[in-house]
């Protein structure tokens, strides 16, 4: 099978690439390295069934040829991370929407019908008082509510919702075999805390003995899925004809508060780091709204794929702590 991965040097994209390389598929990774990293795919670059292009899919001239070559496409390229989304609101909209639309046009021009997975986000369900989960309907067919006026965090959700609408429209008009996956807090090896990701930030702070910074009161809850379970879910969804044209939540429905998460990381690391509360205003600036609960409804994922999770939250945290300690030892040496 020929697999094209846009954003393939990013956190999730690099794991998708490694998964398909190990299966013997021919893998084509495209990434402009704006948030992805060559370090994420270093071990893959010498493999005969992997090729890499450092390119921006907004202007990359080979996109149509790559799309026509692929049997399966994972579109992962996007502006991601809360800090970057808040700092670059116009770029978030422009890159996320234009990149997805150009990929879909390239597939159309190629006259070929690959299986397409489009990465969306749980952010489309909203934040603050507008969060869908306030009414306990974090389901794929829930009506979505967006603010009027400017909201830089919302730009990410809007861009991804437009990507969903574009993909479903191409599917309706041109028979594309596309599945939209709404990701919920994916964590695991190679994820960085640089752009606001909470688990790697907590792990780094605990290993360093630094204060573990919890934003808000820490009572907000999230659900975390290991990236390797995410990749398995995507492969299962892509392999099923019944998922074409569907929007599917991809996550783990175990719920934990952020304060409990900080305590769990600290305990697993055997750290004495104090827990320090930081206001949302100090962390992100004035006007930031958070979602109090974010736990996916997974009925559709389970009914379609029958998958079970192989990684617990504790498993992933232990691996991340061990990796962080190895990194500190290497730096010290």
Indicate the CATH number of 2-186+225-251+296-310 among 1.25.40.10, 3.50.40.10, 3.40.50.300, 3.40.50.720.
Answer: 3.40.50.720
Residue spans of the chain under pLDDT 50: 135
Helix (H, G, I), strand (E, B) or coil at 254: coil
Residues marked active site are found at 156
- Domain residue ranges in the chain: 2-186+225-251+296-310
Query: What pLDDT is recorded for position 290?
Result: 81
Q: Which residues contact 208 (CB under 8 A, 6 or more apart)?
A: 273, 328
Q: Which residue has the tokens 């790697």?
A: 200
Q: Is 0.85 surpassed by the pTM of this model?
A: yes
Question: What's the DSSP call for residue 255?
Answer: -
* pLDDT at residue number 131: 58
pLDDT in tens, 119-140: 999 999 987 555 555 545 688 9
What's the CA gap between 172 and 104, in Å, rounded? 13
To which H or E segment does residue 115 belong? strand 115-121
Q: Residue 51 forms beta bridges with which residues?
A: 28
Would you give the DSSP letter of residue 129? G
Phi/psi at 63 (5° precision): -60, -45
Farthest CA pair distance, the chain: 59
Confidence at residue 100, expressed as pLDDT on a 0 to 100 scale = 97
């Amino acid at each position: 099978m020929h697999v094209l991965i846009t954003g393939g040097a990013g956190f999730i994209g690099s794991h998708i690439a490694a998964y398909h390389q190990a299966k013997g598929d021919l893998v084509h990774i495209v990434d402009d390295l704006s948030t992805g990293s060559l370090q994420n795919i270093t071990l893959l670059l010498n493999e005969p069934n992997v090729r890499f292009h450092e390119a921006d899919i907004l202007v990359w001239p080979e996109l149509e040829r790559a799309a026509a070559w692929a049997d399966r496409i994972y579109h992962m390229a996007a502006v991601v991370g809360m800090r970057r989304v808040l700092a670059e609101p116009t770029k978030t909209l422009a890159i996320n929407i234009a990149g997805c639309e150009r990929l879909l046009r390239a597939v159309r021009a190629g006259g070929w019908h690959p299986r397409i997975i489009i990465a969306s986000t749980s952010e489309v369900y909203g934040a603050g008082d507008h969060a869908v989960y306030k009414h306990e309907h974090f389901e794929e067919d829930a009506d979505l509510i967006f603010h009027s006026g400017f909201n830089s965090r919302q730009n990410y959700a809007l861009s991804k919702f437009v990507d969903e609408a574009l993909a479903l429209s191409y599917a309706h008009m041109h028979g594309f075999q596309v599945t939209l996956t709404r990701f919920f807090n994916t964590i695991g090896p190679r994820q960085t805390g640089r752009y606001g990701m909470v688990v790697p930030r907590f792990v780094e702070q605990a290993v360093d003995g630094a204060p573990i910074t919890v934003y808000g009161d820490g009572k907000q809850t999230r659900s975390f899925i290991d990236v390797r379970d995410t990749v398995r879910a995507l492969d299962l969804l892509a392999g099923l004809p019944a998922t074409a044209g569907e929007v599917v939540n991809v996550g783990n429905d175990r719920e934990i508060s952020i304060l409990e998460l900080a305590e769990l990381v600290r305990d697993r690391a055997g750290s004495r780091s104090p827990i320090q509360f930081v206001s949302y205003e100090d962390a992100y600036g004035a006007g930031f709204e958070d979602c109090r609960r974010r736990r996916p409804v997974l009925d559709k994922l389970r009914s379609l794929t029958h998958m079970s999770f192989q990684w617990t939250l504790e498993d992933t945290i232990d691996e991340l702590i061990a990796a962080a300690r190895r990194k500190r030892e290497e730096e010290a040496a």
